[in-house]
Structures are given as structure tokens and as C-alpha cells.
């Protein structure tokens, strides 16, 4: 009936949101969302921060600057310095979640038909952003060490020869959603070199970097720009308080060359005039309180236990039928079913048994692998993770016995 824009003529739902309708099923244990455990929110610390922020009612109830309140921008600059990245307010824009930050960057760079590369697999809401920009989306494979830079190098060389270089490469190099993988230092340095050689913007999405529970930290691409000549012009870094403090604040930011930030600011005027000064005030006070470090130690310890519990449960209940690498941080286990089983078929048996996860196909823009799935260990309790694994084991047996004999391995 309506003449919608091309990008929204037949919009595709996020594969995660599409599962929301089952969440209300009594007794459901969801391994589907990428949500922090609400029991871990530092409610007392945030309440104190809100009380302090509220004392300056003008600052928190008025419209704020489009690029973020000066106090929040200063807090971001300090936090980024603690993460090994020297930056300054003109290089920072505060956004309504890092989802908005990616949307702004995509809008200021992409015309319909422009090419972009994403990781295979990648975060689906940002695939939606790229589709809304009518970009042509290609993908590069990843493994347990993140983006396969050899494959990227080949893809870029071919694209260069065809006069079809991508304008932008989107990566989640640390504890990726969905793969949980972290790109090695060597690959990061090579990625920066490739960005300089091909004049291609790298968007580094880093909402999970603070959630390391084992192994040694790997520096962000942004912090490594000091080691690769010319690369600081080609990196946009996105970060967020959603996974490390609370997603309800909707406070996140981008760090980028000032020319890019300026254009994102103009795009943000059109999007929402500015993010809420009230939640920025709470966030800035919270960061100034110095509670974040202890909070992170606490939540990482809990997520470590949860990750181990889910990994152990999956191994004991599904055995050889499932394969995965245990992540060193973040919220996700990315797994592959063996023996030709499909994650959709397993999900169809899992939902009536009150457990759910996200099939992996929605995280892949090309040649989706139907055997893949994403399981989040962040929200359920340890007991629920064990029970979820047991139910998945039952669902697996039902899936295997439902298959026609000819398709069994
Ligand atoms: C990789 C990735 N980027 C961005 C986001 C959006 O986060 P925010 O709440 O900051 O908008 C998410 C949320 O799940 C995510 O997993």
C-alpha cells in the first residue's frame, strides 16, 4: 500500500529479536540474548552517581551538546587513556549506544552501492545498518584468532584489480559477537597496514574488550595506530558502557579523526539532536567514582565461571555432536554441530524443551553455515546453564532421531 524507501521495502528482522516472542514462555532458559546479567549491575554505585549528577539539574535536564556533554567527553578521554589510547575531545562523539555510533559512521561514508567488508560471522544489527545504507556487503572468513588477514589481503588485491575496493571494513576484534574470537596482535598490525595501503576505513567495534577473564590483553587497533605509519587516519573506534556497566544508560562513543567526528555530529543532529545529558551525567559520575575497575573484576570472575559451566555442560550433554573454542572473554560461545545437523532443526526441538539459542546463519552475510549457533552464557545462573545444557542434550537426541535414516552419518 505504501511506497517505502528501497532499504525498507522488505526489511529483514534481526535473528535475535525474532526469538523474543519465546522469552515469555514459562520456564524458558535463554542462551539467545547478548545481555549482561542484571544481577551484576552496580545498582548502588549507579544510584550514587545519579544522585550526584542530579544535583546539577540544568546540566542534566537541558538539551546537551550534540557530540556529548563536556564532562562525559572528558570521562571518555580518561577511560581511553587507561586503555592505552591517547585522544582528545575533538576526536570523540558520545552516542546513544554504539549501535548509533556505527549508524552515523555508515551514513557519513556510504552511498548506495558502496562496498563494505564484514567478518564472517558478524553482528547482525550492523548488517541491518549497512543494508539500510544500501551498501554492497562482502565478507571475509574468521577463525579462532579473529579475522583471517591472509584472506582479507587476497580479497583486497582482487577488489583493487577489479576497481571495486571496499570503502569500509567492519571488525569486532576482541571477543567478537558472535564468535567470541580475539584477533592476534600480528593480525591487527597487518590489518592496519592493509588499511593504509588500500585507503580503506576500519571500524573497530569494541563493546566487549573490558570483559577479559583469561589470557593476556591484546591492544586495540586504535592503540596500535601509533605503531603503523599513517594508520591513525583510517581507524574509527567504537566503545560502549552497555556490556560493562548497563545497557539502559545507552551511553557509548566513537573515537576518530576530527573530520569524521564533525560529520558524525552533523548526522547526529538529524538523528536525535544529542544523547540524553541525564544518562551521560550518571555515566560520567560513575566513571569519576573509580568504581568501574572493581566492578569489572567482579563481573569478569562471574562470566569466567559461567563460560566454564556452559562449556562443560555442552561437552557432557552433546559430546562430539558440538564443537567450539572456549573464549577468553566476552559473552558468547560460537559452536558448530557435527554430522550434518542443522541449528534450526535443533532450535525447533529446543524451544518446546524451554531452552533457546540463536542459529548462526543470521550472523553470516554470504554462504551461511546452517550447522553454526551462538550461545550466550552471560545472563543465566550457573544452575540454569547446567540445566540448559541438559535440555539441549535432549533436544539433540530428538533432532537426531527425527532425521530420515539416509541423512544420518
Ligand atoms: C558487536 C556489538 N556492537 C554493538 C552493539 C550495540 O551496543 P550498544 O548497546 O552500545 O548500542 C552490540 C550489542 O549487542 C554488539 O554486540
Q: What is the pLDDT of residue 402?
A: 81
* Spacing, Cα 1 to ligand 1 middle (Å): 34
What integer best gives the mean pLDDT of the chain? 95
User: Where does the pLDDT of residue 286 fall: very low under 50, low under 70, confident under 90, or very high at 90 and above?
Assistant: very high
| Alpha-helical segments (H) within 227-329 | 258-272, 277-288, 292-318
pLDDT tier, 13 (very low <50, low <70, confident <90, very high otherwise): confident
Summarize pLDDT for 74-118 with one digit per residue, the tens.
999 999 999 999 999 999 999 999 999 999 999 999 999 999 999
128 lines ligand 1 (CB under 6 A): no
| Section 345-362 average pLDDT | 96
* Nine cell digits for residue 251: 551511553
The model's confidence at residue 220, banded by pLDDT at 50, 70 and 90, is: very high
> 68 in ligand 1 pocket by Cβ < 6 Å?
no
pLDDT computed for residue 244 by the predictor: 98
Residue 103 near ligand 1, beta carbon < 6 Å = no
Ligand 1 centre to CA of 95 (Å) is 12
Q: Which three cell numbers stand for residue 123?
A: 553482528
Beta bridge partners of 142: 147
Cβ atoms of 62 and 68 closer than 8 Å: no
Q: Is the pLDDT of residue 406 over 70?
A: no
Q: Is the pLDDT of residue 403 over 80?
A: no
Q: Is the CB of residue 256 less than 8 Å from the CB of residue 236? A: yes
Rounded Cα–Cα distance for residues 102 and 240 (Å): 11
**Atom 16 (ligand 1) nearest CA:** 177
**Nearest-angstrom CA–CA distance, 290 and 285:** 9
158-185 residue pLDDT tens: 999 999 999 999 999 999 999 999 999 9
Q: So what's the pLDDT on residue 7? A: 85
Of residues 13 and 192, more confidently modeled: 192
* Distance (Å) from CA 37 to ligand 1 centroid: 15
In whole angstroms, give the CA distance from residue 264 to residue 274. 11
The grid coordinates listed for 112 are: 548506495
Q: Which atom of ligand 1 is nearest to the CA of 240?
A: 10
SS3 label, residue 351: helix
CB 36 less than 6 A from any atom of ligand 1: no
Query: Could you give the percent of the chain with pLDDT greater than 70?
Result: 99
Determine the pLDDT at residue 14: 77
Longest dimension (CA), the chain: 71
3-class SS at 296? helix
Alpha-carbon distance of 279 to 134, in angstroms, equals 32
Q: What are phi and psi of 225, to 5 degrees?
A: -60, -25
Burial class (CB in 10 A: 0-12, 13-18, 19+), 60: buried
Ligand 1 site, residue 205, Cβ cutoff 6 A: yes
Whether residue 279 has its Cβ less than 6 Å from ligand 1: no
| Confidence category of residue 290, pLDDT binned at 50, 70, 90 | very high
Cell 547446567 identifies what position? 386
> Which residue, judged by its Cα, is nearest atom 14 of ligand 1?
34
- The answer to whether the peptide bond before residue 77 is cis (omega within 30 degrees of 0) is no
Nearest-atom index, ligand 1, CA of 99: 11
Strands (E), 16-63: 29-30
Residue with CA nearest ligand 1 atom 11? 97
Q: pLDDT band at 404, cuts 50/70/90?
A: low
State the pLDDT confidence band at 58, using cuts at 50, 70 and 90: confident
Structure letter (DSSP) for residue 110: P
Interval between CA 407 and ligand 1 midpoint (Å): 38
Atom number of ligand 1 nearest to Cα 176: 1
Q: In angstroms, rounded to a whole number, what is the distance separating the alpha carbons of residues 385 and 396? A: 16
- Residue 405's pLDDT band (cuts 50, 70, 90): low
Residue 16 contacts residue 358 (beta carbons within 8 Å): yes
- pLDDT at residue 292, as a whole number: 98
Which three cell numbers, joined as nine digits, stand for 298? 567482579
CB 133, CB 118: distance < 8 Å: no
Alpha helices in 11-56, H assignment, sequence order: 43-54
98 CA to centre of ligand 1 in angstroms: 6
Site to substitute for ligand 1 among 15, 32, 93, 177, most atoms within 8 A of C-beta: 177
Amino acid at each position: 500500500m505504501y511506497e517505502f524507501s528501497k532499504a525498507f521495502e522488505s526489511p529483514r528482522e534481526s535473528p535475535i529479536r525474532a526469538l523474543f516472542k519465546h522469552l515469555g514462555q514459562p520456564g524458558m532458559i535463554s542462551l539467545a540474548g547478548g545481555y549482561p546479567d542484571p544481577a551484576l549491575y552496580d545498582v548502588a554505585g549507579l544510584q550514587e552517581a545519579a544522585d550526584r549528577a542530579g544535583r546539577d539539574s540544568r546540566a542534566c535536564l537541558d538539551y546537551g551538546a550534540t557530540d556529548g556533554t563536556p564532562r562525559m567527553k572528558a570521562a571518555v578521554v580518561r577511560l581511553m587513556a587507561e586503555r592505552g589510547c591517547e585522544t582528545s575531545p575533538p576526536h570523540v562523539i558520545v552516542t546513544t549506544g554504539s549501535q548509533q555510533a556505527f549508524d552515523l559512521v555508515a551514513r557519513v561514508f556510504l552511498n548506495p552501492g558502496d562496498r563494505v567488508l564484514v567478518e564472517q560471522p558478524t553482528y547482525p544489527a550492523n548488517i541491518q545498518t549497512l543494508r539500510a545504507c544500501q551498501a554492497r556487503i562482502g565478507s571475509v572468513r574468521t577463525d579462532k584468532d579473529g579475522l583471517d588477514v591472509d584472506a582479507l589481503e587476497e580479497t583486497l588485491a582482487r577488489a583493487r584489480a577489479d576497481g571495486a575496493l571496499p570503502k569500509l571494513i567492519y571488525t569486532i576484534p576482541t571477543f567478537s559477537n558472535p564468535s567470541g574470537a580475539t584477533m592476534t596482535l600480528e593480525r591487527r598490525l597487518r590489518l592496519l597496514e592493509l588499511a593504509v595501503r588500500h585507503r580503506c576505513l576500519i571500524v573497530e567495534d569494541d563493546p566487549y574488550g573490558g570483559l577479559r577473564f583469561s589470557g593476556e590483553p591484546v591492544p586495540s587497533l586504535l592503540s596500535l595506530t601509533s605503531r603503523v605509519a599513517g594508520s591513525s587516519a583510517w581507524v574509527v573506534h567504537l566503545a560502549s558502557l552497555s556490556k560493562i556497566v548497563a545497557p539502559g544508560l545507552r551511553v557509548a562513543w566513537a573515537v576518530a579523526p576530527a573530520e569524521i567526528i564533525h560529520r558524525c555530529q552533523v548526522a547526529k543532529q538529524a538523528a536525535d539532536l544529542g544523547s540524553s545529558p541525564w544518562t551521560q551525567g550518571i555515566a560520567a559520575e560513575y566513571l569519576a567514582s573509580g568504581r568501574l575497575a572493581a566492578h569489572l573484576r567482579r563481573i569478569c570472575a562471574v562470566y569466567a565461571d559461567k563460560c566454564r559451566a556452559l562449556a562443560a555442560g555442552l561437552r557432557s550433554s552433546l559430546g562430539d555432536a558440538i564443537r567450539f573454542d572456549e573464549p577468553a572473554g566476552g559473552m558468547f560461545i560460537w559452536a558448530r554441530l557435527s554430522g550434518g545437523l542443522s541449528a534450526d532443526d535443533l532450535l525447533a526441538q529446543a524451544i518446546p524443551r524451554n531452552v533457546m539459542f540463536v542459529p548462526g546463519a543470521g550472523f553470516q552475510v554470504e554462504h551461511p553455515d546452517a550447522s553454526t549457533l551462538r550461545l550466550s552464557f552471560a545472563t543465566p545462573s550457573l544452575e540454569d546453564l547446567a540445566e540448559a545444557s541438559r535440555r539441549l542434550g535432549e533436544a539433540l537426541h530428538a533432532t537426531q532421531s527425527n532425521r530420515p535414516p539416509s541423512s544420518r552419518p
